[in-house]
Each structure stands twice: as structure tokens, then as C-alpha cells.
Chains A and B, each alone.
Chain A
Amino acid sequence: MPRSESLESLKTRIAGIERARSVETAAVAGTGHLGIDAALGGGLARGRVHEVFAAQADDAGCAAGVVAGLAMRLGVGLGVGLGTGSGGTLVWLREAQAERQGGRLHAPGLVEIGLDPARVIIGVLPDPLAVLRAAADVVRCPEVGVAVVELWREPRLLDLTASRRLALAAEASGVTVIGLRIAAVPSPSAAQTRWQVAAAPSLPMEANAPGYPAWRVELLRQRGRPSGGDWRVEWNREQACFADADGVADFGPDAGGFAAIAAAPSGAVLPFSAGRPAGAPKDNRRAELRRAG
């Protein structure tokens, strides 16, 4: 067999194993933020695994907020106060230790960002093994809208195999899985997208009161599309969408390096065109930074 031919057949076989093509066919849910949607090629893919990392352990609340926002964008738990809410069910699996250290999920707080607690089922499980086992069951149930798998630190059990298993189950059932990782460092996984969330200064209300939830959201990686991108977004409860949080915020002395990033007009950084090579946005941003600094 000629060499090129065998290479070709090998390539098609690998493509079949990787199911690379199914990525394009996945239904997407727009986030409402133009820049993010452009970078994602339309929105967040349904029936896939997405990972959200809290930048620091005390950004856990912010990361939970982003996860709740993404779940609402995926059509789960909208319309609190309008009866029984709509859409599928959100199953949120947590470790008991996270509940003790990081605080428990507070239903009135979920209401305040627009997520209907009536559509939420909480699993408080003793260890990461129980969380992953329960997640396998939850993801296989197509009636679940979004499954949130919250894990602290780096459990040894959450390796590439485990995440791949979750991804395959999610693809088969159409359940969107959001892996919420706190106090963890990103490691190889089968996730479609990987995000990092940090707190960002909110746009102040009257009398300098803290405003709507604002976050700095960074797209660390995505499958099959260029990665990179860094946005300051605000959660708009009334519209249930992520909005661009531009405007001038005053920064304190310990706001550190990324005050400059946030202060740079986000329009200058965004949007990325889909076809741009992976390395380009990063360089571009650095240039912006230099200019801003």
C-alpha cells in the first residue's frame, strides 16, 4: 500500500474515533455577549462538557454565579416567580467538604440572580468518587437540562478517562455538563471549553453601592476553535444574559495587574474572528496591554 494512502486511511479512522465532526453539528446556546458568542462560534455547545475554574478559592461565589448564568442561558430554571419555572432541571452535585468550607448554596441568592430554585436538585455527596458516580447517572438521564459537577482541588479520580466518559455520556444524552472547579489547576480533559472566572469590580449603583454581578471571564481553551479571549461581563438578571460591562470603574491600590486589562476598552480586544489562528489573539491582547500600560 502506498504510504500516503495508508496515512489517509489512518486519518479517517482517527477522525472517526475522535468524532471531531460532531462538534460542528452540536446545537449552541448563545450567551448574549457578542464577543463571547463570536469566539465560541455562536454560543455554548449543548450536550458537551464545559469547565469553569475559579481563579482563586475566594472566587468560588463568582464561579458559581457564572455557572448559574450559563445554566440559564441553556434554558434551565428561568422565570422565577412566574409559577413553576420553565425548562429542564439543574442538578448540582457538590462535595460535603465544599459545603462546609465554601458555604452552602443559598436559594434566595439563586433567586436574586434569576435562577428558580424550584428547578434545582442539589446533591451533597461525601467524596469525589461519589460525585463522579452520581454524575455518570445524572448525565445519562436525558430529562436533566444541565448537570453541574463541582469539585474542589484536583481529585485523583478526575483523570482524562473520567472526563472523557462524562463527555461521551453527555453527547449521547444531550445533557450539558458544567464542571465547576475550585482551588484547582487546569489539567487535560475532554471538555469542549474551559473558562476561568475571577471577580471584577461592578459598576457602582447610587451612593457607591456594589452593582450587578460582574466577572472577568477568560476562555482558556476550546476544542476545534481558537482559544483565548478575556472579557469583563456583567450578569443582567432581567434579560437573563451576559452583557458587556464597560464603563469606568475606579480601582483600589491592590487591584493589581489586571486593572489595566479591565480598563482597556473591551471593544478594542474583541471580537475575534473565528478563523484567526490560535496564537493571534494573545499577541494582540498583549499589544493592547502594552498600549494601555
Chain B
Amino acid sequence: MRQKTTGEQNSAGRDDAPADTPLVLVEKVRGAMRIAATCRQAASLGLSAGLALADARAQVPVLSVTDHDPAADLAWLERLADLCDRFTPLVAIDAPDALALDITGCAHLFGGEARLLAEVSRFLARWSDDVRLACGDTPEAAQALARFVPAGVSFESEDATLRRLPVAALRIEEETQTALIRAGLKTIGDLAMRPSAPLAARFGADLVDSLDRLLGSADSRITPRRAAPALRFERRFAEPIARTEAAMAAIGELAEEAAVELEQRGMGGRRFIARFFRSDGRTYDLATESSLPMRDPDVLMRLLNERLAALADPVDPGFGFDMIRLAVPRIEPLTPAQLQLEGGTIAQEAMAELVDRLSTRLGRGAIRRFQPHDSHVPEQAALTLPAVDLPAPAAWDAPQQGEPPSRPIHLFDPPQPIEVIAEVPDGPPHRFRWRRSQHHVVRFEGPERIAAQWWKHAPGKSPGLTRDYYRVEDARGRRFWIFRHGLYETERPDPRWYVHGLFA
């Protein structure tokens, strides 16, 4: 496995100070302003991270100072990671200042590791003037080489170079580092020569682990930001294309390629992402989901066009797109459909297509289906879940024969408070006031007592109050579901009342 790490100075992306004054980023550490990062010029003047700002000012009187903003740094890193997506699908963020790219099986596409490295360097030069790149057998090796080997130094072999690096390259705790140096173990090589058992006994097992990972004797992988899609189809353009319609036409061609590939595998996609890479590095995503696996390019293009029309932030071609990709992250088996005489399959597919189209346009949460949930708490007895996630409808239990409805058709969430007059405090309601009008209870049934879920709460903590539900009908015939919240005297001295739903 070959890995590559790019090291970034975190001030690189947002240098708004005059070019000739040294720039430092400061943050408040235990009440004192301390330097979090420096630009190259400031570093050459002897300033470094951790120095108090007052001391730095004493050393370098002309200093431009900006607040350190870790969130903006991370956002910037995310954007760079998006850009690096064009080299390999496996990109990981190594916060706060590095990216790790898994280039296993990708380098040959660019003509070898060295050519790929040059390409990445040329590409990232547009975004930052202080990028350090290195290839390594493991992610740890790559980041150690990127951080500790000065640029332009060529090394004979990766292993030999790693062995000459200081122990700080292990990225271990400061105390362990100090202890190692005191013991005279200053380089990786010094550690690698020694047997691991005494090292682990004295400095901890973590040290041996990181040493093994650095030298490649233990397996180590990056955790990519996104899992590699099951299938992806790309088109690169020598000349950027400047019209969104032309880009969508290219996506259409990719959709046809995808359909052929999916058909050969007997699969269909559940999720599709079209990604536009703008030549200046910005990317746009159009994502769509389907409730049943599908591969029909026309249907897919219809969904993607829906998505395009529904975007809050429209796709701006700017100077044009130089690459377009269609990824299929989720695939599931899709056998060729057998047409039923009565049209059963077709009806199901047509419904699924309608659901997909509406969910794509209005958001996946807007179109829902009911799903039963095993709970006696009324508001949790049914879930409404996005219909794209539930292609198969759930089965519901039949109602009790010969009984009028015991559950309302409309449920208020949260329940609405009402003022109730009852003849006795723990008795049925007599009259209540809801939405500024009085309702006189003519008929009632109850109480149906629903206790709180005490088994879901830690012992000693109150699980909530018991509810006594009544079905009541007022003089006009409106039927309500109201409850007393808390048992009179045992749970509450003065229980409140709520209307929880309306019956049909």
C-alpha cells in the first residue's frame, strides 16, 4: 500500500495580511494569548507555535496577528480533500493540517508514483504555496516523511530515511518523547534496533504499536472520508465545458455506461451521485436515491434533472467543468423484471418511481410511509420514515372487532394543554376549555391508564408521569382524546390535562 500525505501550513489558505509582514495566528491558552501557527517568514525569525504573543512581539515588533480559527482550517482542509478526490476515491483528513490519500492501484493511471506526486504538487500549488508531499508505505510513514524530511532532499530508501528521523515522528505523547531522549534513544533507528518487549514494558505498548505502523511491520489503513463507491464512471475534458446542459448531457452518457455495467452484473443502484469538478477546483454534487434498485438511464436522468432544478445553490459553471463523475455508491441485486399479467410489478415500480421523483425534488424526509413501532406510548406507536428507505410496506394488526376507534386519527405532538373541570380531582372530565372555547363532555370512556416507560430510565430517576386517557365526546359530537398527566396525589397534587388527539 502506498500512501501520500500533504502537509499544509494552516495559515496558508487565508493570508489577508500584507505580504511582507510576518503573520502569526494566536489562540487563548489558559488566559494567555499564544501563537498557534506561524507563516514561513515568521518561523524563520524564530517564532514558533506555543510562544506567548507578548514574547513574540518583543522579538519581532512588526507582526501581523490574526485569531486562530480551527473550524475554518478544517473547512479549508475539507475543500482540499474534495479536490484530491480526483486522484483517488480514498481521501482521509488528518486534522488539523494534513490529508492522507490512499493511492493503492491509482498511481499507474498517472504514469507512476513520481508523476502522480508531481501532478498533485502542481495541482495544489494553486491553493497553497506551502505544501509538503511524501509517499510512504503506511500512512504514518508518509506523514512522518512529509513532516520531517525537508523538501528537495532525496533519500536513498524509505526505510533508511525513516530510521534517521527523530522520535517525534512517531507522534507520541510529549512525556514519552522526553523519556526516550533522556534514555538516549533519539532516532527511530535507535528504537527499531532494540527488542520490543523491554520498550513496551518501560514506555508503554503504544510506543511499540506506533513504531510498527511507521515501519510497516503492522498493517495500517486510513479511514477515508467516504467509502469508495461501488461503481464510478468518469469523463475528463481537455477543454473545460462551460454549460451545465452540456455537462448534464455528458452525465447522460455516463448513465448509459452505468446501465450497461449494472446490467452485466445483474445489479441496480440505490444511490447515484453526479459530481461536477470545476476547473478552478470547486465541486458540485447532485445526489439522488431510489426506493427500488434501478439502472434505467432515462429515469436516472429525470431524477438528476429534478435535483438540479431543486438546488438552493444553483450549479455555476464558472470557467467550465474539466471533469465529471457519476458514482453509484450503493448497488443491490436487480434481476430482469418478469412482467405480470395483472401488472403487479409495473404498478410497484411506477409507485417507486413517483416516490423517488417527489423525494428527490422535495427532500427525502418529505415523502413518508408509516412503520409500526412496538411501544405503548401513543406518540411512539407509529413512526413515519422516509418512503425511499421503506420500499416494502409493513403489516399492521387488525383493529378489535365491534369496538369503536380507541385511537385518534389526528395526534397532537406535543399534546395541547387544556383547562378541565372535573367533579372529583381523580374523576373523569366534566367540562374543558380548548382553543378558547368551552366543551361540555356528554359522553366519555376511560380511563385507559398508560404508564411511563420506567424500564428505560436509570433507577432513582423519574421516568415521567402516568397518563389517564379518556375518550370524550362533546355536545356537538366532536370526539377528543384527552389525558390527565400524573396520578392525583400520588404523583402530583394538581395534575394537568392535555388534549392529545382528535377522533374521526
Known: A107-B372, A209-B443, A213-B504. A202 touches B354 (CB 8 A): no
- Residue on A nearest B401 in the bound complex, by CB: A238
Chain B positions within 8 Å of A248 at CB level: none
Contact of B411 among A103, A138, A204, A255 (CB under 8 A): A103
The residues of A that contact B438 with a CB separation of less than 8 Å are: 254
Q: Identify which of B2-10, B148-156, B380-388 touches chain A.
A: B380-388
Asked if A104 CB lies within 8 Å of chain B CBs, one says yes
- Across the interface, do A116 and B504 meet the contact criterion of CB distance under 8 Å? no
A103/B399 contact (C-beta < 8 A), A117-B382, A134-B358, A256-B476 known: no
Residue of A nearest to B358 (CB): A134
Tell me if B442 is interfacial: C-beta within 8 Å of chain A.
Answer: yes
**For residue A16, which residues in chain B have a CB less than 8 angstroms away from its CB?**
none
Q: Which residue of B lies closest to A216 (CB)?
A: B477
A207 within 8 A of B: yes
Residues 227-255 of B, flagged 1 when their CB comes within 8 A of A and 0 if not, give 00000000000000000000000000000
| B186: Cβ under 8 A from any A Cβ | no
Contact in complex: A123, B366 (CB < 8 Å): yes
Of B18-26, B62-70, B466-474, the segment with at least 4 beta carbons within 8 Å of chain A is: B466-474
A238 to B405 alpha-carbon distance, docked (Å): 12
Residues of A92-108 contacting chain B, CB below 8 A: 102-108
Known: A84-B395, A121-B368. A62 touches B475 (CB 8 A): no
Known contacts A81-B396, A134-B362, A255-B475, A65 near B504 by CB under 8 Å: yes
B201 within 8 A of A: no
What is the 8 Å Cβ interface bit string for chain A, positions 110-134, against chain B (1 contact, 0 not)?
Answer: 1111101111111111100010001
Instruction: Given A65-B504, A209-B443, decide whether A122 and B382 contact each other with a Cβ distance below 8 A.
Output: no
When chains A and B are docked, how far (Å) is the Cα of A106 from the Cα of B378? 9
Q: How far is it, in angstroms, between the C-alpha of A210 and the C-alpha of B474 when the chains are bound?
A: 10
Shortest CB-to-CB span from B140 to chain A, Å, is: 49
Min Cβ gap B256→A in Å is 25
At the interface, yes or no: A83 with Cβ under 8 Å from chain B? yes
Find chain A residues with CB under 8 A from B413 CB. 103-104
Given contacts A80-B396, A111-B399, A254-B476, contact A202 B404 (CB under 8 A): yes
Map CB proximity to B onto A19-54 as digits: 1 under 8 Å, 0 otherwise: 000000000000000000000000000000000000
Q: Is the CB of A103 within 8 A of B443?
A: no
Task: Indicate with 1 or 0, residue by residue over A226-263, a CB within 8 angstroms of chain B CB atoms.
Answer: 00000000010110000000000011111110000000
B399 and A60 contact, CB distance less than 8 A? no
Mark B395-408 against chain A: 1 for CB-CB distance below 8 A, else 0: 11111011011111
Report A-chain residues with C-beta under 8 Å of the C-beta of B478.
58-59, 61-62, 199
Cβ B475 vs Cβ A253 within 8 A:
yes
User: By the criterion CB–CB under 8 Å, are B358 and A123 in contact?
Assistant: yes
Q: Which of B395, B399, B435, B504 contacts A235 (CB 8 A)?
A: B504
Question: Given A202-B473, A209-B443, A255-B476, A108 and B366 touching (CB < 8 A)?
Answer: no
User: Quick check: B410 and A64 within 8 Å, CB to CB?
Assistant: yes
Task: Name the B residues within 8 Å of A109 (CB-CB).
Answer: 405, 407-411, 501, 503-504
Which residues in A have their C-beta under 8 angstroms from that of B387?
A: 121
Query: B398: which of A81, A198, A209, A216 is its contact (CB, 8 Å)?
Result: A81
Provide the bound-state CA to CA distance between A209 and B406, in Å: 11
Inter-subunit contact B411/A254 (CB<8 Å):
no
Q: In chain B, residues 387-442, which have Cβ atoms closer than 8 Å to a Cβ of chain A?
A: 387, 393-399, 401-402, 404-413, 435, 438, 440, 442
Closest 9 CB pairs of A and B: A65-B504, A81-B398, A252-B475, A61-B502, A118-B393, A112-B405, A103-B410, A107-B382, A209-B445
Pull 29 A–B residue pairs with CB atoms less than 8 Å apart, ordered by A. A61-B503, A62-B478, A62-B504, A65-B503, A80-B398, A89-B351, A104-B384, A104-B411, A105-B409, A105-B411, A106-B409, A111-B396, A111-B398, A116-B396, A117-B370, A118-B393, A121-B387, A123-B367, A125-B362, A137-B354, A141-B354, A199-B479, A201-B477, A210-B472, A210-B479, A214-B477, A252-B474, A253-B475, A255-B475
